[in-house]
Structure 1
Amino acid sequence: MKVLCMLSGFGKGSGGHFHSLNNITRALHGYKDIDIDIVSIGNVTSPILKDHPRFLGNLEFKWYAFLSLDRKLRKILKGTRPDVVHCYDGGTALLMMMLPIFRNTRIIHTRCGGANERFSVAQVLRTVILFSRENLASFQKNPRFAQSDLHLIPNRVFEREHDTKALEALLKKDPDTFTFMRTARIGKSYSGSILQGIELIRRLETNRKVKFIVIGVVEEESYVETIRKAAQDANVTLELYNTPEYTREASRFLYAADAVIGTGRGTMEAMSARLPVFAPLSDMVLPVLIDAETLPALFERNFSPRGKVEGKTEEAIVATASKLVNDPDFLAEARQFARKMAEEHFLITDAIKEKYWSIYHREMEKSPRGLVWKNLLPIVYYLNSYRILAKRVPQP
């Protein structure tokens, strides 16, 4: 079963869908007959994928130059044809269904979280994999997906061994300090979660030393200054790392944390590492600890900054966080809960691999035709998006 996994990248090429594809493909390649190759399209080669053993390369293209992209794909695939093209963003799925090379090829789309799209521009494919219940509910309500197979598979953590000794040359764990960590791009989308972390640390009731480590690619420099000033005003010790040796797979440094401020896949990776996680809330200035009470509501929205939890007060949130810092037994319980939830919901286990294998094989029984006509409006919408994205300057 030859599977070609694809996605698009512009600017820095370090979005969450790159990390998700990286983890999932490393787990799936070689399972039974699954044989995976990876190609990206856009104006940047992702630093997350460049060392992936199955990455064939990035294809630059103009948003209107379909035949040029088709020729580049034929060249890089060297005459081989995938049984299934698995796209990790909707725009790429739409482009691929228009190319002559994939005219009779089955295409699957993984929706990697995010806010729900308008019904009219959602990409219709016969098989869609979703990471969040929020997106699943939207697709189920959309009549355009009445004939589609929808699969909720939030699992996207693939555990790998890292050389911790080598990493400690870059970042040592401080045993005398309780360390909160946030791994996220530093820009408009996630600056709010970082500021919530600073505010939580400011309000802690503890005599212990506490610091906040932030690791992430800088999207907009103005947000770096905002974050530094907020930490300074709050008297919070802040360490910020934004160079490639830190930001490439920032989760490698989770060993240096005692707790994490997390969203999306980052939450799952931290909980897999037995770390308590605080999730940002859309209607409060503090993040809340993910526990048995808060997990269902936060998981519903993929642990995104859009999360809401009923019945939590700021006082209760601060009291719980302070107890976590001060009480070793409570910290141990939180770590045990985090790992248990990861094993149940986030890790790519053999059962999850089997599910993907079954999806790929069932896809071969479906007709690959008729998708373009069902997606005329989304195609126009996303071609305009690619036109705008192409103006982003590639950044190291």
Structure 2
Amino acid sequence: MERLSIVYFIFATGKANGGHYRSLALTAEHMAKYHNVKIIVLGYTYSHIIQDAPVESQFVYFNGLNISSALRKIKACIDGNSILHAFDLYAFFIVRLLRLKLGNKIALTKCGGPNPKGYFPKVRNLVLFSQEDFAYFSVIPRYNSSKLYLIPNRTEDFITDTTKVEEIKNRFNLHTYDKVILRICRISRMYQKSIVQSIHLHQYANDQGCKTALIILGNVQDQGVIDQLKNDLPDSVFFLTEDRYTANAKEVIEVADWVVGTGRGFMEASAKSRVMFAVSMQDDLPMLIGTHNFDQAFAFNFSERIIFEKQHIVDNRIDIIKLFSKAEHEASVKKQSLVWFKEYFSIQGAIEKYGSMYKDLLDDTKDDKDLVLHWFKFIRANLGTWYRELRKLVK
């Protein structure tokens, strides 16, 4: 196997601990077994997830205006033979500029989220995590000459931090409950719907006679959301927001019996053979995932945009009751969850696909107008960050 030089790029701001940072860290770690790999973090903060990854990495401050200085620092450590692969739109802006100067082969990964409603850059090599995105870009004339690669998000098995799990169990007296539900996400308006559905699941299970606790685990990004959510909640709903638990939240998944998951979080919970729920577009309860509806959820990368069949929504409440009324049914669901992890979510399958892709990349085209539009997109998206950074300096 030819050993390639691959440089990954990602843009970071705030705590920089979202799922796509973990996806990149894991992908780079495994690609480094076969190729020369480096990660360059652009933006305002050096993501601790990338720093902690067993791969060479570098931070370059970039705010959209200091283009020359950022390019100068990056060019000092790469050459025209390196493949440049961005894991978000903002990092891809710098990658496009580097291609113009050095002639590199380049690629972009759209890690998830809804289909773009506004500007999305021209790109010849585009990696997509979901069938939803693949179907969308396949019919857009702008990408007729592009290569689209469907490489779903992947994860790997990992070690549970039993000390933290016991801490949480003792802190919330979880041994007094029949079932524990877990939702791991940033506490913000973006994930409010999934949190609300988790609360409804908790309420429904309790109403049906199953004494259930719910843990919402994640960083608080919008205090107004958590204040609103806490109104009139029972004592058996717990918010866990300390960095000790949120920094690597997957380590405590086994504190729960049931997990309401999205994207990468769904896959990580399946690795621990949990009962899995996905957010439903049509109902106030999350959907219990089984063999009958797995494909629908997988097509949308287990996002909050899944549209389930009407009969599945009707049957969902009965299926939930079976979880705690028939022990063998819950055991079967948990077993199937682990099967999905091994068949669909393991990282090794993705590594093989990336290796094939890098050998077959198309040359990107020069489009000055689109590059300017890309820069405007970056500037507009970063106005809020500029304001917050300026306030810090004033203080």
Aligned to 2:366: 370
Contact 1:10 1:390 in 2 (8 A): no
The SS at the match of 2:126 is strand
> What does the per-residue CA deviation read over 1:70-107, in whole Å, with 9 as the maximum and x for residues that have no partner?
123245x3x66661111110221122212478531111
Deviation at 1:206, TM superposition (A): 4.3
What are the ranges of 5 or more consecutive residues in structure 1 without an aligned counterpart?
none
Residue 215 of structure 2 is aligned to residue 219 of structure 1 = no
The answer for the alignment partner of 2:83 in structure 1 is 84
1:250, 1:212 → 2: CA distance?
15
The answer as to 2:13 corresponding to 1:10 is: yes
Q: Using CA pairs below 8 Å that are at least 6 residues apart, which structure has the higher relative contact order?
A: 1
For the aligned residue pairs, the C-alpha RMSD in angstroms reads 2.5
Partner AA of 1:142 in structure 2? I
Note if contact 1:66-1:99 (Cα within 8 Å) is conserved in structure 2: no
Are 1:38 and 2:36 matched, yes or no?
A: no
Cα distance in 2, alignment partners of residues 326 and 65 from structure 1: 61
Query: Which residue is 2:357 aligned to?
Result: 359
Matches within 5 A, 1:341-360: 341-349=340-348, 351-360=349-358
Distance change in 2, residues 1:383/1:107 (3 Å): farther
SS state of the match for residue 134, structure 2? Answer: helix
Secondary structure of 1:260's match? strand
* Residue identity matched to 2:352: E
Q: Distance in 2 between matches of 1:29 and 1:158?
A: 15
3-state DSSP of counterpart to 1:156 = coil
CA deviations over 1:92-149 (Å, ceiling 9, x no partner): 112221247853111111110111114x722222211100111111111111111111
2:18 matched to 1:19?
no
Structural mapping, 1:1-396, within 5 Å: 1-30=4-33, 32=34, 34-75=35-76, 77=77, 83-99=82-98, 103-118=102-117, 121-162=119-160, 164-168=161-165, 170-172=167-169, 174=174, 177=177, 178-204=179-205, 205-230=207-232, 232=233, 235=234, 237-312=236-311, 316-349=315-348, 351-363=349-361, 366-370=362-366, 372=368, 375-392=371-388
SS state of the match for residue 383, structure 1?
helix
The alpha-carbon deviation at position 165 of structure 1 amounts to: 3.4
Kindly indicate whether the alpha-carbon contact (under 8 Å) linking 1:97 and 1:103 is maintained by their aligned counterparts in 2. Answer: no
**Residue 305 of structure 2 aligns to a residue in which SS?**
coil
Q: Taking every aligned residue pair, what percent have the same amino acid on both sides?
A: 25
Q: Between 243-252 and 383-392, report the one with greater CA deviation.
A: 383-392
Post-superposition offset of 1:212: 0.6
TM-score by length of 2: 0.89
Normalising to structure 1: TM-score of the pair?
0.89
Which amino acid is the alignment partner of residue 162 of structure 2? K
Which secondary structure does the structure 2 equivalent of 1:26 belong to? helix
Inter-CA distance 102–254: structure 2 relative to 1 (3 Å threshold) = farther
Structure 2: distance between partners of 1:256 and 1:101: 50
Is 2:154–2:350's contact at 8 Å kept on the other side of the alignment? no
* Unmatched segments (≥5 aa) in structure 2: none
Aligned length: 383
CA shift at 1:312, angstroms?
Answer: 4.1
- Pick which of 49-58 and 133-142 moved more: 49-58
| SS of residue in 2 equivalent to 1:129 | strand
